[in-house]
A and B are shown apart, each in its own frame.
Chain A
């Protein structure tokens, strides 16, 4: 079992729709959770962080965390073609190293 799992997609949504990206993780002691966006050929860019159960909103992005279910999600409202990218879920590793464990990423395609 992978430590962080994501559906590789592609997830295709029409412009203006809500895109929902999901991630599960295996280590119950993980405390920090992040979403990175990666355009093709570019490096990952941090877009959201969440540390406690519930929802965290930032503009069109909402991160959701459920530690009991070991589940993290990212909602993108009013999806734009420029949101087309791979979204990487990252979870803090064991110990206070700051190390992140990444999922394989979900490719999102927003169609005009």
Chain B
């Protein structure tokens, strides 16, 4: 197991185009998170899945953003009609929900996808 994998590592797109990112979590992890990070800021929560169910979505998230995790394994994050303000590092993280003791969950991050919108 090589950890959380994200693809692509870098994406340059023109404003108005759609982009899609992929995340493959650690295999035994049932929770998957998407975060966004801009320069000088900490990661900002976007959404999370437990297995295939999307259980929470940030209120700050535009409806141009959509995420899926169809079989409870890998996940995709799509941004439609990209804007320059979408330029950021998109981070995926995964964790394993361990029964009632969720306080001991630890999130492990992938290498991220750096998006540049021109």
Tell me if chain B binds chain A.
yes
- Chain A residues near B (Cβ < 8 Å): 4, 6, 8, 31-32, 34, 36, 42-46, 49, 51, 88, 90, 92-93, 96-105
Known: A97-B55, A97-B56, A99-B56. A32 touches B103 (CB 8 A): yes
The contact of A51 among B35, B95, B103, by CB within 8 Å, is B103
Give Cα A8–Cα B107 distance, bound, in whole angstroms: 23
- B42/A4 in contact, CB under 8 A: yes
Residues of A near B109 (CB, < 8 A) are 36, 43-45
- Chain B residues near A (Cβ < 8 Å): 31, 33, 35, 40-45, 48, 55-56, 89, 91, 95, 97, 102-112
- A100/B45 in contact, CB under 8 A: yes
Smallest beta-carbon distance A41→chain B, Å: 8
23 CB < 8 A contacts A-B: A8-B40, A32-B103, A42-B111, A43-B89, A43-B109, A43-B110, A45-B109, A49-B106, A51-B104, A88-B42, A88-B43, A92-B103, A96-B97, A96-B102, A97-B48, A98-B48, A98-B95, A98-B107, A99-B33, A100-B45, A102-B44, A104-B40, A105-B42
9 interchain residue pairs of minimum CB distance? A102-B42, A98-B105, A43-B109, A96-B102, A31-B103, A43-B112, A104-B42, A102-B43, A32-B103
- A98/B97 in contact, CB under 8 A: yes
Smallest beta-carbon distance A4→chain B, Å: 7
The contact of A100 among B41, B107, B112, by CB within 8 Å, is B107
- A43/B56 in contact, CB under 8 A: no
- A101/B97 in contact, CB under 8 A: no
Residues of A near B97 (CB, < 8 A) are 96, 98
- B103/A99 in contact, CB under 8 A: no
Q: Which residue of B lies closest to A4 (CB)?
A: B42
Smallest beta-carbon distance B25→chain A, Å: 12
Residues of B near A104 (CB, < 8 A) are 40-42
Smallest beta-carbon distance A1→chain B, Å: 15
Give Cα A76–Cα B91 distance, bound, in whole angstroms: 26
Residues of B near A98 (CB, < 8 A) are 31, 33, 48, 95, 97, 102, 105, 107
Smallest beta-carbon distance B9→chain A, Å: 11
Give Cα A104–Cα B104 distance, bound, in whole angstroms: 23
